[in-house]
Homo-oligomer: A and B are copies of this chain.
Amino acid sequence: MAGRGRPRTLSRDGVLSAAVLRADRTGLDGLTMRALADDLGVEAMSLYHHLPGKAGLLDGLVEHLMTEVDTATAGIGTGEDWRDGVRDRCLAARDVMERHRWGPGLLMSRTAIPPSVFAHFEAVLAAMVGAGFTHHLGHRALHSLGSMVLGFTQELFAPASDSDGAQSEEELAAMAELLPHVTAMVAAELHAADGDVLGWCDSRAEFEFTLDLLLDGLEAHRLRGRSAS
- Interface check A185, CB cutoff 8 A: yes
Q: Does A136 lie within 8 Å of B214, measured CB to CB?
A: no
Copies of this chain, count = 2
Contact partner of A149 (CB less than 8 A), chosen from B105, B139, B151, B155, is: B151
Instruction: Please give me the residue from chain B that is nearest to A213 by CB atom.
Output: B217
Considering only CB atoms and an 8 Å cut-off, how many residues of chain A contact the other chain? 60
Q: Does B109 lie within 8 Å of A209, measured CB to CB?
A: no
Q: Which residues, 68 to 124 on A, are CB-close (under 8 Å) to B?
A: 104-105, 108-109, 111-113, 118-119, 121-122
- Interface check A172, CB cutoff 8 A: no
Residues of B within 8 A of A192 (CB): 136
Q: Does B179 lie within 8 Å of A135, measured CB to CB?
A: no
Q: Does A136 lie within 8 Å of B188, measured CB to CB?
A: yes
Q: Which residues, 126 to 149 on A, are CB-close (under 8 Å) to B?
A: 126, 129, 134-136, 138-140, 142-144, 146-149
Residues of B within 8 A of A42 (CB): none
Selected interface stretch from A31-39, A56-64, A156-164: A156-164
For the complex formed, measure the closest distance between the CB of A130 and the CB atoms of chain B, giving whole angstroms: 9
Q: Does B121 lie within 8 Å of A182, measured CB to CB?
A: yes
Asked if A122 meets B178 with Cβ closer than 8 Å, knowing A143-B206, A151-B150, A152-B151, the reply is yes
Q: Does A112 lie within 8 Å of B160, measured CB to CB?
A: yes
Q: Does A189 lie within 8 Å of B104, measured CB to CB?
A: no
Q: Does B118 lie within 8 Å of A179, measured CB to CB?
A: yes
- Interface check A17, CB cutoff 8 A: no
- Interface check A125, CB cutoff 8 A: yes
Q: Does A152 lie within 8 Å of B158, measured CB to CB?
A: no
Contact partner of A217 (CB less than 8 A), chosen from B121, B206, B216, is: B216
Residues of B within 8 A of A135 (CB): 184-185, 188-189
Q: Does B210 lie within 8 Å of A179, measured CB to CB?
A: no
* Cα–Cα distance between A192 and B175 once the two chains are bound (Å): 50
A-B contact pairs, 16 of them (CB 8 A): A105-B109, A112-B158, A113-B156, A113-B158, A113-B160, A118-B179, A122-B181, A125-B185, A129-B184, A139-B185, A139-B206, A147-B156, A150-B151, A150-B153, A151-B151, A214-B217
